[in-house]
């Protein structure tokens, strides 16, 4: 098996019809870079940075941020890395950050993610400064999570510009062409994507949250887990709309939710127009194998069939059969 994985690592993620699919990795810890390389990731499409805060008593300093980003960039040897700014709150709670706030009755609808960062500007500033400094060391992109309004995106971008000016004044170098992206994981951002797309260089679809917010199902609540479904037709429509609007605006779309690493969805996602997935490193060989076994026409036919189906169960059953047949 190890030999087969090795073999796959060096083969391109290419459809039978020749189209290339970008396969990037999702990581949370710097040591996961090893796994990314073993599995042949083209880069890191989602670097979750919460670990710097979780389980720590003290807030990380700018230098703490910088050191870990520098290590990841250097260890990845020149491949692109998307650093997502802090996504704390709700399921990712850190001691100290925003602790004085009142208990929330709906944490997933509360002060989490970009909202929390915008409320704690000094914390946000510290992270953004470190990202900008690290951008001199390799191809780093910055991505904002859970953006739900244009105002939020503009606030975050303004802060970034402000920090760039500070760095200029201090004579500290950074990549002036740093690419700025946002997660698309709230239905409002899909609905308004034509506007968002004018203000970012790329987007990444976070299906883990998009499913929860589209279907009003808490992703961590077992009582309603049966309603949480990646292939609910409403979710699929939003994914397709996102891909279309981003294409019209000529910006790159990646999908970085868990569903991207599940082989049963690969044909559908490609058929819906996706050409870039960011997934857990261990899933890369399997997804690559699916890619190498199917043509674009087959994937588009799968998407066409799925569009006609009206419930998640039927879709899932169909997708399972298709992938079994194809691989
Ligand atoms: C997502 O929501 O799909 C995502 C990738 O982010 P996270 O799982 O960290 O919320
Ligand atoms: Mg998310």
DSSP letter for each residue of 259-305: GGGSHHHHHHHHHTT--EEEE-GGGHHHHHHHHHH--HHHHHHHHHH
Burial class (CB in 10 A: 0-12, 13-18, 19+), 161: exposed
Look at residue 230 in the predicted model and tell me its pLDDT: 98
Q: In this structure, what token pair is assigned to residue 93?
A: 């709670």
d(CA 162, CA 169): 11
- Does residue 50's CB lie within 6 angstroms of at least one atom of ligand 1? no
Q: Does the pLDDT of residue 1 top 90, yes or no?
A: no
Residue 325 C-alpha to ligand 1 middle, in angstroms? 30
Q: Is the pTM of this model over 0.90?
A: yes
The pLDDT of residue 267 = 98
The residue written with tokens 């690969």 in the block is 266
pLDDT in tens, 202-252: 999 999 999 999 999 999 999 999 999 999 999 999 999 999 999 999 999
Rounded to the nearest 10 degrees, what angle do helices 312-326 and 296-307 cross at?
A: 160
d(CA 70, CA 312): 42
Q: Place 89 in a pLDDT band, splitting at 50, 70 and 90.
A: confident
Atom of ligand 1 nearest to the CA of 257: 3
Which string of DSSP letters, residue by residue, matches 133-201?
A: HHTTSS-EEEEESS--SHHHHHHHHHHHHHHHHHHHHHT----TT-EEEEEE-SHHHHHTHHHHTTT-S
Given a cut of 90, is residue 76 above it in pLDDT? yes
Mean pLDDT of 57-68: 95
Which atom of ligand 1 has the smallest separation from the CA of 208? 3
149 pLDDT higher than 80: yes
Q: Atom 1 (ligand 1): residue with closest C-alpha? A: 206
CB of 49 sitting under 6 A from ligand 1 = no
Q: Exactly one of 231, 256, 291, 299 is catalytic; name it.
A: 256
Predicted interface score ipTM higher than 0.85: yes
Mean predicted confidence (pLDDT) in 192-201: 98
The SS3 call for residue 321 is: helix
Q: Distance from first CA to last CA of the chain, Å, rounded?
A: 17
* More confident: 4 or 157: 157
**pLDDT for residue 64 is more than 70:** yes
- Output DSSP code: residue 225: G
How far apart are the CA of 168 and the centre of ligand 1, in A?
33
Mean pLDDT calculated for residue range 55-81: 94
- The answer to whether 256 is a known catalytic residue is yes
For residues 53-89, one letter each, b for 16 or more C-beta atoms within 10 angstroms of the residue's C-beta and e for the rest, the string is beeeeebbeeeebbebbbebbebbeebbbbbbbbbbb
Q: What pairing do the DSSP bridges indicate for beta strands 179-184 and 202-205?
A: parallel
Counting ligands in written order, the one closest to the CA of 208 is 1
């Amino acid at each position: 098996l190890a030999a087969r994985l090795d073999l796959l690592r060096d083969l391109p993620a290419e459809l039978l019809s020749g189209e290339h699919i970008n396969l990037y990795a999702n990581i949370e810890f710097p040591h996961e870079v090893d796994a990314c390389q073993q599995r042949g990731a083209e880069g890191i499409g989602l670097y979750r940075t919460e670990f710097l805060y979780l389980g720590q008593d003290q807030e990380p300093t700018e230098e703490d941020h910088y050191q870990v980003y520098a290590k990841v960039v250097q260890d990845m040897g020149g491949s692109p890395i998307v650093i997502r700014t802090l996504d704390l709150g709700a399921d990712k709670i850190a001691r100290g950050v925003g602790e004085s706030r009142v208990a929330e009755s709906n944490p997933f609808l509360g002060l989490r993610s970009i909202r929390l960062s915008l409320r704690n500007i000094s914390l946000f500033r510290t992270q953004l400064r470190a990202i900008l400094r690290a951008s001199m060391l390799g191809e780093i992109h910055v991505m904002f999570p859970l953006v739900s309004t244009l105002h939020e995106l503009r606030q975050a971008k303004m802060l970034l510009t402000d920090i760039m000016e500070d760095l200029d004044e201090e004579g500290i170098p950074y990549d002036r062409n740093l690419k700025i992206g946002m997660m698309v994981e709230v239905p409002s951002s899909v609905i308004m994507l034509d506007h968002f797309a004018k203000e970012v260089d790329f987007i990444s679809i976070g299906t883990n949250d998009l499913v929860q917010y589209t279907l009003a199902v808490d992703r961590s609540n077992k009582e309603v887990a049966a309603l949480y479904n990646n292939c609910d037709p409403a979710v699929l429509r939003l994914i397709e709309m996102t891909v279309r609007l981003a294409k019209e605006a000529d910006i790159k779309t990646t999908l970085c939710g868990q569903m991207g690493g599940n082989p049963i969805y690969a044909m559908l996602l490609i058929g819906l127009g996706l050409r870039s997935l960011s997934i857990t490193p261990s899933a890369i060989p399997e997804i690559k194998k699916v890619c190498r076994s199917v043509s674009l026409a087959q994937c588009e036919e799968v998407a066409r069939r799925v569009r006609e189906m009206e419930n998640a169960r039927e879709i899932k059953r169909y997708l399972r059969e298709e992938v079994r047949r194809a691989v």
